[in-house]
Structure 1
Amino acid sequence: MTTETAARYTSSDLLDYYVLRAEADPGQLAGLLVEEFVLADDLAAARLRSAGWTPADGGWWSSAAYARAVRTDPRLRARLAAVDRATAEATYHRLGGGDLPAEEELRGHFRDDVPLATGAPLRLSDGPDVHRILFAGELDDRRLARLGALLRLDDPDGARPGVVGTGRLRVNDTNVRWDLRRVGGGIAWCLDVTAEPAGGDALPWVLRQLIGVARAHGLFPATIERLA
């Protein structure tokens, strides 16, 4: 196990925000969910931290069971929508919470973490490491098309089974590539990300951006694994 470090990205929102809709009335907002992945030194996810707030509960609560349920229960996911911090602030104020605490203060409400396994990957080749971002959630054809466009996916020959498409980006002197795949017998999605040369700041930044794009289209990040 490597030493855990909270990843810091070049992003206005370091935490992930979701608005929660009422179960009886999807048009009515019921609260907020705030999450953060704690990454190991090799950028594999070590822990998922989360906290929720609803006016009915009168304060913030943290539940590992709830965080797991978000990844396994489609009905619960249907009540959540990814938002940016500005929208979370407006929602919190509208529901009577006042000013949304700063992100460092929100981290103080993370009390019941979900541990995620990390460790040295099995070395299968001499190629670059792969960081696999696993997502729960469903994509209809419209969302998949929009996500593919934003991810710059291109796989015209369809030569690699299971790969929906491949995107590429050069960040400074680093070439980054990602493959969107359907996994888990069709019940989940993943992005397999490689960066060459390894090291530097490009990979953590790209991982953060890719997670943000996927969240905006209804996918929920479940973990980040380091493969080889």
Structure 2
Amino acid sequence: MRRAESAALDYYLLRVGADDGRAAGLVVEEFVLADDLSATLLRSAGWTPADGGWWSSAAFARSVRADRGLRARLAAVDRATAAATYRRLGGGTLPGEEALRDRFHDDLPLSCGAPLRLGAGPDVHRVLFAGELDDRRMARLITALRLDDATSATGARPGVVGTGRLRVDGTHLHWDLRRVGGAWCLDVMSEPVPGDVLRRLLRRLTSLARGQGLVPATIDRLS
């Protein structure tokens, strides 16, 4: 069974250019998650006054993840900022989130195979991102994610920048910010935990990474 993530949508300003911060429109996205919280679809829609309305393009969503120049034109924002920009650019009142979902027409399928088996241990959900982190954004993300210093552990856990930890109702959750094959990812590890707790944590951590310029590409479940 597959279901859509019911939490808030992801909003981005689409800027005129990488070096031109003026807003040219909006992009709205949502990952569709399976019951195990792995991503099966990426749904998206964009709006620009020049195009006269909303459009939906899987090719655009794919290009954002592959094209550094196009990705540099996006800036993650909250809904209030998106609504203010939409009004300022002549769109009027930004539609509610259910109405925005009706603008999603051309979905991008994401691979959804059997979980990769890593051996005994807690479940791992990997959020993979497109994008780069300069020193300033890296420092901000380390602080936002409340990571410890994993420098001494790089031999045992290659690519790990640091680990954050949380205890919820007796359950331990922790997450690594990691460099894998030239990409950034967050590995979120947990003992058996209610799905809504893990769902909220995945969304919160992903939002923090989006705030530093990383664009989520998929969520995989590793076991």
TM bin, normalised by shorter chain, reads: over 0.9
Amino acid corresponding to residue 22 of structure 2 in structure 1 = Q
SS in structure 1 opposite 2:136?
Answer: helix
CA distance in 1, matches of 2:60, 2:28: 12
Cα root mean square deviation, aligned: 1.4
Residue 46 of structure 1 corresponds to 40
70, 73, 76: which one pairs with 2:67?
Answer: 73
User: What TM-score, normalized by structure 2, do the two folds share?
Assistant: 0.94
**Does the alignment pair 1:130 with 2:128?**
no
CA distance in 2, matches of 1:100, 1:6: 21
CA distance in 2, matches of 1:120, 1:5: 17
CA 209–96 in structure 1, closer or farther in 2 if over 3 Å, else same? same
Please tell me whether the aligned partners of residues 150 and 163 of structure 2 are also in contact (alpha carbons under 8 angstroms). no
Identity of matched residues, %: 70
Q: CA deviation at 1:168?
A: 0.5
CA distance in 2, matches of 1:153, 1:25: 31
CA distance in 1, matches of 2:171, 2:196: 9
Please tell me whether the aligned partners of residues 128 and 198 of structure 1 are also in contact (alpha carbons under 8 angstroms). no
Q: Deviations over 1:152-200 (max 9, x none)?
A: 111355222210110011123321110111122x2x1000001123334
Residue 209 of structure 2 corresponds to 214
Residue 183 of structure 1 corresponds to 180
Amino acid corresponding to residue 22 of structure 1 in structure 2 = V
- 1:60-99 equivalences in 2 (<5 Å): 60-99=54-93
User: What TM-score, normalized by structure 1, do the two folds share?
Assistant: 0.92
Could you list the runs of 5+ residues in structure 2 that have no partner in the other structure?
none
SS in structure 2 opposite 1:118?
Answer: coil
Residue 113 of structure 1 corresponds to 107
Deviates more, 1:110-119 or 1:157-166: 157-166
174, 188, 198: which one pairs with 2:193?
Answer: 198
CA distance in 1, matches of 2:60, 2:193: 35
Amino acid corresponding to residue 171 of structure 1 in structure 2 = V
Could you list the runs of 5+ residues in structure 1 that have no partner in the other structure?
none
Please tell me whether the aligned partners of residues 151 and 162 of structure 2 are also in contact (alpha carbons under 8 angstroms). no
CA distance in 1, matches of 2:109, 2:21: 33
Q: How many residues align?
A: 220
SS in structure 2 opposite 1:67?
Answer: helix
- 1:22-41 equivalences in 2 (<5 Å): 22-23=16-17, 26-41=20-35
CA distance in 1, matches of 2:194, 2:60: 34
CA distance in 1, matches of 2:219, 2:195: 18
